[in-house]
Structure 1
Amino acid sequence: MIGRTKLAATASLVAMLAGGVAQAQSLAELETAAKAEGRLSTIALPGSWCGYENVINTFKAKYPEIEYNGLNPDAGSADELEAIRANKDNKGPQAPDVIDVGLSFGPAAKDEGLTQAYKVSTWDSIPDDAKDADGHWYGDYYGVMTLVVNTDLVPNVPQSFEDLLKPEYAGQVAMAGDPRASNQAILAVMAAGIARGAEPGTAAAEAGLQFFKELNDAGNFVPVIGKAGTLAQGTTPIVIAWDYNGLSWRDSLNGNPPVEVIVPSDASLAGVYVQAISAFAPQPNAAKLWMEYLYSDEGQLGWLAGYCHPIRFNDLVEKGAVPQELLDKLPPAEGYAKAVFPSLDAVNANSDAVKAGWDSVVGADVVQ
């Protein structure tokens, strides 16, 4: 009888929290409901991205009762939204509970009804311009677009986007994603446009597409998604990627081959990513608990250890919560001081223009 009473109470709590009142409950009650669900499904979180391997492992150690299910780690932001659409009526393990997408994809997902509102307990320390007022999406971390170079194969390291057009880099330059679907690659096009003096938005997209057309026509562009393996193997000895990815690849390769990560002298573009919970999450309480963890001091410092600047970075520094050894591992401030943070409207306009124009202007089919 006692067991049935406890089971009924747990079921009632799960239903109540799933109904959207989790913020009114304690963390302990949310933990109970999440453990009762027993699983968390994420998508597009490779271990080398932003320190996610340690972030995920710490969460799993903290909540061993919750099975961690990582879907399609190499997916792009557009793939994440499609996974929600495709699994609206599916409560199985292939349906993602949460997404981590580029800034422009958060509002788009909300407008399409693909997200649900939830405000983490540290909500007030997230800058207002980096979150949806209703709690449908919220910035998690940001980085700067860089050139990641295998210096065994490229001894004369390029210092700018314009350098990449030089004949010496024939068959060497790649992007870290498909610009028709990957936020990272879409913003790489914007960065190239900014390097040519264009304003963030449609103008930068058009200038950036022209740059990549020239790069492709010159035979310098490699239409393969660049990552640590292709960088090391020499398939893509120069990859345009976020600083945290390049620095993580550098560390993982441990000098074999040696890698340099360069903030281009003609463009320093910062990009914000956002988190959101699927409106159709099979495990909504586990999703909320995951968000509470990510936006706690511990979760934020986990991203910082992976070279990402967490969205609560200023708050953590002001509180003295960032260990000095972490601060000492961050790249030099030069190159970051001039970083451009494009507005949401500019990011959206760039995204639409790049996805619409890549095939017709550049004509390179980027593949895995």
Structure 2
Amino acid sequence: MKLYSKVKQKLIALCMLAVLATTLVTGCGTSADSGATKQTAANLSLDEITKKAKEEGKIVSVGMPDSWANWKDTWNDLSKIYGLQHTDTDMSSAEEIAKFEAEKDKPTADIGDIGLTFAPVAVTKGVTQPYKTSYWNDIPAWAKDKDGHWIVGYQGTIAFIVNKKIVKDPPKSWADLLKGNYKVAVGDVSKAAQAQNAILATALALGGNESNIEPALDFYAQLAKQKRLSTLDPSIANLEKGEVEVGILWDFNALGYRDRLGKENYEVCIPSDGSVVSGYATIINKYAPHPHAAMLAREYILSDQGQINLAKGYARPIRDNVTLPDDVKAILLPKEEYKNAKPIQDFKAWETTAKKLPQLWQEKVLINMQ
């Protein structure tokens, strides 16, 4: 599901989840007081957590498959260094949260990776437990829950990918997009998180915000009137077939596609007049059967090597103070391209807007394609 040919389905529309009980499962199928693991996280040293993780000997993740953001290297490292056996079931953010809830009496999963929009929801629904890690002070305020219930491990920024075989003057900004004679593929705004974030990125660049996406709707309405708006998914398959001339998508997807299809034919850039930064955060299951292994995994994900592993999968590390090897740095975009990219500031406002977006898109944009 999370291959480069498909956008990660983790920022899809929020599903309603039931209010959770407050029990914590500390062993597979065995309930215990929820304070036990929370106290462990607060009071145990990293050495003690590591020892307990080794005793648990296993970690079960959801939504963290080998092929996504190069999780493979991190799982291999945790196995070699700490002896942790690993299994994963790939699923969306909503499915992860629902799984943690549904299995609270017989839990199977320890840790998940969810879209940033979902992170506060997971806390509200009571399916997480806090662990701040020793890298807490290296994480930007926007990228972590104040109590450590979720921490972003890597960032994504909306970017352009351009088929240079078709487009001879690649756009560098949203303003450039409006002047071109090529089609612009944004995907299915009614349900694709990547496409919805593309709309938010456009709005932020044009003076809007999480509550006001009118500038973006006007922008895409103009493209539609010019017969230049494509609702095709800017996937690697559609790019390879030549059906996407300019695509709007996450930078880590775009860079992966570019390298698979050939740098000589495809160009990736962050729009110079602004974009949106989001990310994916780890959550530790409140009922985790292997809670210490989950804490150790989060610790390692935020370590220098863990961050480098993610960067090898085109995911920009959340920690700015990690020195990437030259060969890894070379596959990413230069840092200066991100100077006008801003993180989401108001999650509640964006959640409300995103729910309205499918109808607004139909009424104000797609109507102009008829």
TM-score range, shorter chain: 0.7 to 0.9
Q: 202, 214, 229: which is aligned to 2:211? A: 202
Pair 1:144-2:157 in alignment: yes
Which amino acid is the alignment partner of residue 355 of structure 2?
K
Q: Deviations over 1:347-366 (max 9, x none)?
A: 431232022222343377xx
- Between the aligned partners of 1:152 and 1:145, the Cα distance in structure 2 is 22
Structure 2 unmatched ranges of 5 or more: 1-26
Distance in 2 (alpha carbons) for counterparts of 1:178 and 1:303: 27
1:103 is aligned with what amino acid?
L
- C-alpha change, 1:281 and 1:194, in structure 2 (3 Å) is same
Give SS of 1:152's match. Answer: coil
Matched with 2:11 is none
Q: CA deviation at 1:168?
A: 3.2
Give the TM-score normalised by the residue count of structure 1: 0.75
Compute the displacement of 1:249 (Å): 2.0
| Cα distance in 1, alignment partners of residues 190 and 289 from structure 2 | 30
Structure-2 separation of matches of 1:65 and 1:342: 35
SS of residue in 2 equivalent to 1:30: helix
Structure 2 letter corresponding to 1:41: S
Choose which of 298, 308, 314 in structure 2 pairs with 1:301. Answer: 308
- Report whether the alignment pairs 1:289 with 2:296: yes
* Residues 186 and 249, structure 2, Cα contact 8 Å, conserved in 1: no
CA-based RMSD = 3.5
Amino acid at match of 1:308: A
Residue 47 of structure 1 is matched in structure 2 by: 67
Q: Deviations over 1:17-41 (max 9, x none)?
A: 9723045044465355456353412
* Distance in 2 separating the partners of 1:46 and 1:212: 36
Q: Distance in 2 between matches of 1:43 and 1:295?
A: 17
Corresponding residue number in structure 2 for 1:169: 182
Aligned pairs for 1:111-150 within 5 A: 111-150=124-163
1:107 maps onto 2:120 in alignment: yes
Q: Are residue 81 (structure 1) and residue 89 (structure 2) matched?
A: no
CA shift at 1:146, angstroms? 0.8
1:37 to 1:146, Cα distance in 2 relative to 1, 3 A? same
Report whether the alignment pairs 1:69 with 2:88. Answer: yes
Q: Conserved in 1, the CA contact under 8 Å of 2:53 and 2:296? A: no
Correspondence 1:1-368 to 2 at 5 A: 19-20=37-38, 21-22=40-41, 24-27=44-47, 29-30=49-50, 32-33=52-53, 36=56, 38-43=58-63, 45=65, 47-49=67-69, 51-62=70-81, 65-72=84-91, 75=92, 77-92=93-108, 96-165=109-178, 168-170=181-183, 172-175=184-187, 180=191, 182=193, 184-198=194-208, 200-203=209-212, 205-215=213-223, 219-255=227-263, 258-314=265-321, 316=322, 321-327=323-329, 329-343=331-345, 345=346, 347-362=347-362
Number of residue pairs matched by the alignment = 333
What do the CA deviations read for 1:120-149 (whole angstroms, capped 9, x no partner)?
132233234432221111222224321012
The answer for unaligned runs of 5 or more in structure 1 is 1-9
How far apart, in 2, do the equivalents of 1:235 and 1:137 lie? 38
Q: 1:306 to 1:334 in 2, by over 3 A?
A: same
**Is the CA contact 1:145–1:240 (under 8 Å) kept in the aligned structure 2?**
yes
Q: Residue 149 of structure 2 aligns to a residue in which SS?
A: coil
CA 1:222/1:136 → structure 2, altered by over 3 Å: closer, same or farther?
Answer: same
Distance 1:63 1:218 in 2: 58
Distance (whole Å) between structure 1 residues aligned to residue 75 and residue 324 of structure 2: 20
Report the TM-score, using the length of structure 2 for normalisation. 0.75
* Alpha-carbon shift at residue 243 of structure 1 (Å): 1.9
2:159 and 2:251 in contact (8 A); partners too: yes
Q: Distance in 2 between matches of 1:221 and 1:85?
A: 40
**2 CA distance for matches of 1:236 and 1:278?**
40
CA distances 1:62-105 after superposition (whole Å, capped 9, x unpaired): 45541321413xx3x4444344445445534xxx4323233332
